[in-house]
Amino acid sequence: MPTKKPNVLAASRNDPELQPAAPCDPALLLVSDWQMARYVSMLLCRVQQRLESQIMVNPGIQGLTANSTARVQNEEALTLGAPRDYAVAREAEVFAMTEALKLQDSIPDIAATSLVGVIAKLEMIVGADRDIGDPTDFPWPHIASALRDLKAIAGGLPVGRRSRERTRSEVARHWHSAVKLVAALKEEGAAAYRGDVGVF
């Protein structure tokens, strides 16, 4: 039975996102895709954290989660698929973050054709400093300083509104991939338990 995709957009608003005014610059298209991948990974992280909280609040141990047998039975019915949903959400988040990292890795291969394209590439580089050990070490503050100077001279990136349809589509794509992965891992585990697969 497929795990239900979460409605992660219920509380979201039309947050700003780069919508290139000059889509002919490949760097603008790259930064737009990168921002979407990071946003989707953040949404999926929130879903995963919510599911994790539900599992912690209701671990299925009667003495810890309920005052009565009836309440335990009702909660069990509501959270029966929670561990699987949690695994799917965790894997979907990994898929989205991996996509963002791949887009970051492609920065050297993309040639900016405008100053705003150069700004877009630097925005990605500076944005990636959150993923490193110490963003105060050389060259991160220096790159951020150069980016501020360049924006003061040439202007910032064009700003638009995030597309709900695209966000939903990206979440659904990663969620579907995660459902398939978790199902395959479960089947592999069942096969290993049955002795169909050699255990190393």
d(CA 27, CA 114): 9
State yes or no: pLDDT of 130 exceeds 70: no
State yes or no: pLDDT of 20 exceeds 90: no
d(CA 41, CA 93): 5
Sequence spans of domains, the chain? 22-113+161-194
d(CA 41, CA 61): 31
pLDDT at 189: 80
Q: Which residues contact 122 (CB under 8 A, 6 or more apart)?
A: 143, 146, 147, 150
Summarised one tens digit per residue, pLDDT across range 159-180 is: 767 889 999 999 999 999 999 9
pLDDT above 90 coverage of the chain, percent: 48
At 132, the pLDDT band (50, 70, 90 cuts) reads low
CB 18 within 8 Å of CB 158? yes
Q: Output 107 or 71, whichever has higher pLDDT.
A: 107
pLDDT at 77: 39
CB 100 within 8 Å of CB 37? yes
At 135, the pLDDT band (50, 70, 90 cuts) reads confident
Q: Identify the burial level of 106 via C-beta atoms within 10 angstroms of its C-beta, where 0-12 means exposed, 13-18 middle and 19 or more buried.
A: middle
Summarised one tens digit per residue, pLDDT across range 51-98 is: 888 887 766 655 554 444 444 444 443 444 567 898 999 999 999 999
Mean pLDDT of the chain: 78
pLDDT at 191: 75
Residue with token string 């060259």? 139
Residue with token string 């909660």? 75
Instruction: Characterise 10 by phi-psi region: left (phi > 0), alpha (psi -120 to 50), beta (else).
Output: alpha
The mean pLDDT value for 26-32 works out to 93
